[in-house]
Structures are given as C-alpha cells and as structure tokens.
Amino acid sequence: MSINNEHIGRNSLENIKYIAKEKNFKKILIFAGKKSFLKSGAKSQINSILSKFQYEVFYKINQLPDIMDLKKFILKINDYKPSLIIAIGGGAVLDLAKVSNSLYKCKDLEDSIKKSSYELNHFCELIAIPTTAGSGAETTSNAVIYVNKIKYSVEGKEIKPNYIIIDPSLILTTSKLIAAASGMDAIAQSVESLLSKKSTEESVEHAIKSLRYLLPHYELHINKPDFETAYKMSLGALSAGKAINISKTTAPHAVSYPFTSEHGISHGHAVALTLSDFLKFNYEKISYAKVKFDLKERYKIILNEFKVTDTNKLKLKLNKMAKNTGLELNFSKLNIKKENQIENILKGINQQRLSNNPIDIDISTIRKMLTLKIANQI
C-alpha cells in the first residue's frame, strides 16, 4: 500500500491508523491545543483511532508559539522518544511541533533562533492536522517562534510536516472570531504572495487557486458555516500555505506580529489591520517597484479575483469583509491610541518579511501610516 502525504475530507483522520501501521510506528506523541483538541472532536476520534497504539498527548500552554512552550515540547520529545509526532491544532501548535521536532538537539535554543544559527535535524516523522483554516502551517517549511515578544522565523525543509491530514469538520467548532481571523490570514497570504519579490509562476498559481476557494466562501463560512464552506476554506488555506512557502509574505504580515505580541490581537486579525493600507500604498508607488515581474499585471489579477475595478474599491471591500465577519479595524476601539504604542509596534516589525514587499518601505513611512490611522479613528 502506498501512502499519500495529503489527505483531505470527512473522516480523514482514519488515515493516521494506516500511516502508523504501514510505517510500524510504536510510540506516538500528540501535541495539541487543549481547548481545540476537545471542542473540535479530535480527542474522541484520536482515542478511537489510536486505541491499539501507544500514545501520549501533550498540550501547549500559551496563546503564541513562544520559546517557553518550545522548550517544554523539546523536553517532552527527548523524554518520550516518539517514532511519530502528530500535531493537532491551529498555527501555533503546528509551528511548535515543527520546530521542536527539528531543534531537539539544539543547546542554546534562544540564541540560535535569534541569530538563525541553528542546525535542523528531524527527530521523527510528523503529521500536521489543522483545526483552523488559515495559517497554512501544515504545508510550510518555516515556522514562527516568539522570543521576548519578538517574532522570529525558523526555516528549512527539515521542518515541513511529512503528512497533512485535513478534516473540515474539525474547523466547524472554532469560534467566529478565530474563524474570521484565520480566513483573513489565508486571504492576506494569497494576496501578499502575488506581490512578493520572491513570487514565482508556481506561487502565483497557488495564490490564485487559493483566492478562488476563499473569496466566494469566506463570509458565508464565518456567518453560516457548514461542511462545504469549511471544506472550501480548508482547500484555500492549504493553497495559500503552498504559495507563501515559496514567496513568503510582505509588509502586512511584517507589521502584524507586534499587534499580536503587544496587544493580544490574533494573528489574522492583526494582518487585517493594515492589509488594505499597504495594498493601496504599493499601488500608488508602483513606479518604484523592485520586482522581476509586472506589478500592474499582478494587481489586475487581485482586482479581478476580488471583483473590483481599482484599489480604492479593493480597500473598501476588504474593510467591509472584516466588518461583516466581526474583525474590528478601528485602532481606538482596540485600545491603540497613543504614540508610544505605535513606537512599540514599530520596534517589533519583522524586517525579513518587510524586505519582501514589492515597494521598499522604511519605518518612518510606516509610522506615518499608523499614526494617521489613529488620528482618523479617535
């Protein structure tokens, strides 16, 4: 029996049993988010599917994929010595599992991540099972880890999961806010991928495919979810993940991370705060583009997929989508009102992602953009 590395559909978790039997995995370690593991129904399914296997469940503690949880995950791997790891949860759980499975030998973990001086080694095979439709972490060869509220990327082919299992029914139990933020994250990934300096023909194909799944189903999935909308959103998130695995993200993601670490705003929601602003900014500065492709043509693709005729209407549509799904974009209502708060956000911008933006943009320009948003919304 040959084993596929992607399984998508109802009851797809049953494939865990076939993979474990085929590969003769003796000890299975499950990393999960405690609430989502129970609420999604994954726990009861896993208990049944793995009833004849030796396994243990270990839960993450913090909301963000931070260095403290990472250290605990690594200790658990080295103590339990699994032959298979299964990560079930949102992007934070999947990222923690990916990194812990690859940095289990690392001695000075914090310093190595900060300096990107790590050596990646696969402890064992990894199955990724997302319980949200948005992060794309199940298919990427990079992961996010926060150290002292600063976002760092761990990257390398070794951390990419060996298997992806997606059961859309698992995401139907997520809260409206998490579903909205996750879906917006996937939409942003696709759009940013189309504009990234690292964009390729392959990433463009994945991004367009993603938008064609996501845009017709996003609001419907948030406000009136069913298996079909969950299925389409899951496919869209997977394609978005494949797009950014090649191209990486740009300015909206670069600026989003401190909104999450400083203000507790969920990742996809944080991306939505500036997505429409940066899309408009990039288009207005299009003559300064430093890319190897026709940026105007990429914007034509985006406008066509959103069914709008210009970037002003694109901004209005994105903002309306956020409003219709409960994502607050008003800084004042999110308690972001002061200049010192803006300065803290600026300190946390991820320069690596910012450098992918098609138009070079400096901190002073971003400061003006964020300050103007505060002034216009109080």
DSSP class of 66: B
pLDDT at 4: 76
pLDDT digits (tens, 9 = 90+) for 310-333: 999 999 999 999 999 999 999 999
Pairing state of beta strands 27-33 and 54-60?
Answer: parallel
- Two tokens at 95? 């990222």
Same domain, 126 and 261: no
Cα gap 202→104, rounded to integer Å:
32
Is residue 182 assigned to a domain?
no
Same domain, 161 and 197: no
CATH number at residue 43: 3.40.50.1970
Q: What are the C-alpha distances in Å from 321 to residues 143, 313, 329?
A: 27, 12, 11
Same domain, 297 and 372: yes
Same domain, 207 and 318: yes
pLDDT digits (tens, 9 = 90+) for 193-220: 999 999 999 999 999 999 999 999 999 9
pLDDT at 377: 67
C-alpha neighbours within 13 Å on the C-beta side of residue 318: 27
Same domain, 165 and 245: no
Place 249 in a pLDDT band, splitting at 50, 70 and 90.
very high
Is residue 181 assigned to a domain?
no
Cα gap 49→30, rounded to integer Å:
13
pLDDT digits (tens, 9 = 90+) for 276-297: 999 999 999 999 999 999 999 9
Is residue 186 assigned to a domain?
no
Is residue 177 assigned to a domain?
no
* Lowest-confidence segment of 2-16, 195-209, 233-247, 260-274 by average pLDDT: 2-16
> Residue range 95-104: average pLDDT?
97
pLDDT at 3: 60
pLDDT at 376: 77
Same domain, 223 and 356: yes
Is residue 184 assigned to a domain?
no
Same domain, 65 and 135: yes
pLDDT at 2: 45
Domain boundary among 136, 170, 204: 170
Q: Which of 62, 237, 75, 242 is nearest to 142 (CA)?
A: 242
Q: How many domains does the chain fold into?
A: 2
Q: Where are the alpha helices (DSSP H) in the chain?
A: 15-23, 34-39, 42-49, 67-80, 91-102, 109-115, 176-195, 201-214, 218-223, 227-247, 251-263, 267-284, 295-306, 311-324, 339-347, 351-354, 363-377
- Two tokens at 154? 């761990």
pLDDT at 1: 36
Domain boundary among 170, 202, 237: 170
Q: Is the pLDDT of residue 375 over 90?
A: no
Same domain, 84 and 222: no
Same domain, 84 and 227: no
Q: Is the pLDDT of residue 371 over 50?
A: yes
Q: Is the pLDDT of residue 233 over 60?
A: yes
Q: Which of 231, 70, 219, 234 is nearest to 136 (CA)?
A: 234
> Residue range 91-105: average pLDDT?
97
Cα gap 194→189, rounded to integer Å:
9
Using a cut of 0.85, tell me whether the model's pTM lies above it: yes
- Two tokens at 181? 């933020």
pLDDT at 351: 95
Same domain, 195 and 61: no
CATH number at residue 258: 1.20.1090.10
Domain boundary among 120, 136, 170: 170
- To the nearest whole percent, how much of the chain has pLDDT over 90? 95
Cα gap 235→231, rounded to integer Å:
6
> Residue range 298-309: average pLDDT?
98
Cα gap 199→244, rounded to integer Å:
9
Cα gap 227→167, rounded to integer Å:
10
Q: Is the pLDDT of residue 68 over 70?
A: yes
Is residue 322 assigned to a domain?
yes
Q: Name the residue type at position 243.
A: A
C-alpha neighbours within 13 Å on the C-beta side of residue 290: 6
Cα gap 275→254, rounded to integer Å:
11
> Residue range 153-176: average pLDDT?
95
Q: Which of 214, 211, 240 is nearest to 304 (CA)?
A: 211
Is residue 276 assigned to a domain?
yes
Q: Provide the residue range defining the domain that includes 50.
A: 6-170
Same domain, 225 and 369: yes
Hey, is 225 helix, strand or coil? Answer: coil
Same domain, 206 and 355: yes
pLDDT at 130: 97
